[in-house]
Amino acid sequence: MTARRAISALAAALFLGLAPAAAHADGWATIEYKGTVDETFIYQPSDPSVWQSTLHFAWDEREVFHLTGTDTSTPVGGLHLAITGQESMIYAPPNTNQDCSFAIVPRSPLAKGQLSPLDVVWNERGTFGGSATMPITGSYAMSTGATSTAPSCELPVNGGAGVTDEIPDGVGRTFGDAEVSGIEGRLGGPAVTKHFDGEGTTPDGRNTESIHATLTLTNTARRPPDIGATPPKKTLTPAQKQAKLAALDALEDTFQRALYPCGVGAGVGTALIAAGPVGLAVGGTMSALGTPLCLSYLKAIKAEADTVADPPDPAYRTAARIRPVAAPAAKLPACPAAQGAGSPGAVCAQLQPAGQALLRATRATEAAATGLDTTISRETAAVRAGDRRATALQDRTLTTLGRSFAARRRTEAAAARRVAQILGGAGLNVTLDPSAAAAALTALQNRLVAAGLPAAKLTTALGAAPQATASDLLASLGS
C-alpha cells in the first residue's frame, strides 16, 4: 500500500486568501468535489502474473456554507461524503497466500475533531474562496471486506489508498494539485469549476495512474434546497436489482467468452491450423471471426460493468431503445470442397454459418446490454433529481429491456454451444497452460482499458480480480 502524505489544516488554509476585511452581503455557497483515481502496479511487466495490484477510488463530497455580512462562514446541514472503490493485490505461486483485496468506503465514525475536507471563507477582495481535500487518506476513507488479515490488507487511519510506487511524470503535478485544491468565486457571480485530468505510465511500465476530478463552487442569495448531510443508502427497485444481477451474471460469462478472441487473438486460428487437415480448413474461419467477435465482446463487457456501477446519465426523461444491429457479416475464407461427412470441407461448411450466427447473436446481446446500461444510469440520475415521473419511465423501460437482454443472451449461448459442438465433434480445441492463460488475461484487460474500462472498475464490478476460469476454447463457448 502506498502511503499518502498527510494534508494539514494549514495547507488547506493557504488556498483561502488573505484575512477577511470589509462587510459583505449574506449568501450561500455550495462546494462540491468529486472524481476518480485509478492505479495499476505491475512488479514485472514482462510477466505481470508475478505480482500486480490495482486501485479504483471514487469520491463525491459536498457541503453548504452560509456566508454572512459579518465576514463569517458557517457550514450548514453537514458534510455529504460518498466514497467507493476497490484495492487488490494478486501474486503468482508460491506467493498466492499474499493475495488481498478490499473495498473502500467512508470512514465511520470520523475521528473526533476531524476537520471537514471542504471549507469556504470570505477573502478581503470581496470574493470568497473554497478549499477541497481529496478524501483518499485514512482520515476520511477506510477498508472493509478484506480477504486477508495481513496488515497490508487494510487502509489505516494514518495511511491512504494507493498501489503505485512511483507516480508517472505526466500525472504528478495534476495529482498534487488535486490532493488539496482551491477555488475562488464572487457572491452573485456564476458557478466556478476547475478540472483535474491526467493519465500516464512510468517509463519502466510498472506504474500506471489516471485522475479525473472536478471542483465546483456555486452560490445563491437564498438557502439552497437539499443541504442535509449524507443521504440514506439508496434502495434499489426490483427492476434495478434484477438488471444489476443479470448484468453481473452476463459479465462473468462474456469475460470468459472474450478471453480467446481478444486475449489469444490470432493464436486461436494458428493453433487450430496446426492440428491437422480439419484444423487447417477451419483455422482461417475462426481467425476471421475473432476480430469482430472481440470488438462486440469488449463493448458488451463495458456496458455490463457500467450497469453494475450505474453512473448517472442526465438524459433521464428519455427512454432508451435497443439500437438495430446493422453490422455486416464477417468476411470468411472459402471452404475446401466437402468430401463426405467429417471431411475438412464438410466441417468448415458447418462452422461458417454457425460462426456467423454467433457473431449476429453477440452483437444483438451487446446492443441490449448498452440499452440496459443507458437506462439504469438514467434512472439513477432521475432518482437523484427527485423526478418521480422520469424515475417511473426509466423503471418501466428497465423491465422491458431486461427481458430482451435475457432473451438475447439465451440466443447467444445457444449459438456459442453450436460452434463448440462442431469443433468438438471434429476433435478440435485450443487449450492454454497457466502462463499462456495469464498472458491472454492481461491482453484482454489491456484491450478493455483501451476501450474505456479500467481494470480496477472491472474488478469492482466483478467483486474480485478477473480470472481466466475457462480451461479451453470449448469451455469458454459453454460446451
Q: pLDDT, tens digit, for every residue of 352-383? A: 999 999 999 999 999 999 999 999 888 888 87
Model pLDDT, residue 226? 53
Model pLDDT, residue 12? 40
Model pLDDT, residue 273? 82
Q: Hey, which residues does 208 pair with through a beta bridge?
A: 40, 201
Q: What is the mean pLDDT of the chain?
A: 83
* Polymer length of the chain: 479
For helices 344-385 and 277-309, angle between their N-to-C axes, nearest 10 degrees: 10
The average pLDDT across 158-172 equals 84
Model pLDDT, residue 365? 93
Is the model more confident about 13 or about 99?
99
Least confident of 46-55, 157-166, 396-405, 413-422: 157-166
Residue 447 has pLDDT above 80, yes or no: yes
d(CA 291, CA 268): 11
Model pLDDT, residue 203? 92
Write the pLDDT tens digit of every residue in 172-191: 888 888 888 889 888 778 89
Give whichever of 11-25, 174-188, 203-217, 316-330 has the largest mean pLDDT. 203-217
The candidate with the shortest Cα–Cα distance to 461, out of 239, 337, 303, 338, is 303
The average pLDDT across 25-31 equals 81
* C-alpha pair distances (Å), 318 with each of 390, 393, 404: 8, 8, 19
Residue 229 has pLDDT above 70, yes or no: no
Model pLDDT, residue 136? 92
Model pLDDT, residue 70? 56
The candidate with the shortest Cα–Cα distance to 54, out of 42, 45, 64, 72, is 42
The average pLDDT across 289-298 equals 90
CB 127 within 8 A of CB 186: yes
Model pLDDT, residue 15? 40
Least confident of 69-78, 405-414, 469-478: 69-78
Model pLDDT, residue 2? 46
Q: Hey, which residues does 196 pair with through a beta bridge?
A: 213
Model pLDDT, residue 437? 85
% the chain with pLDDT above 70: 87
Model pLDDT, residue 9? 35
Model pLDDT, residue 364? 93
Model pLDDT, residue 25? 60
Confidence of residue 134 (pLDDT cuts 50, 70, 90): very high
Q: Can you say whether the dihedral through the CA atoms of 193, 79, 3, 40 is positive or negative?
A: negative
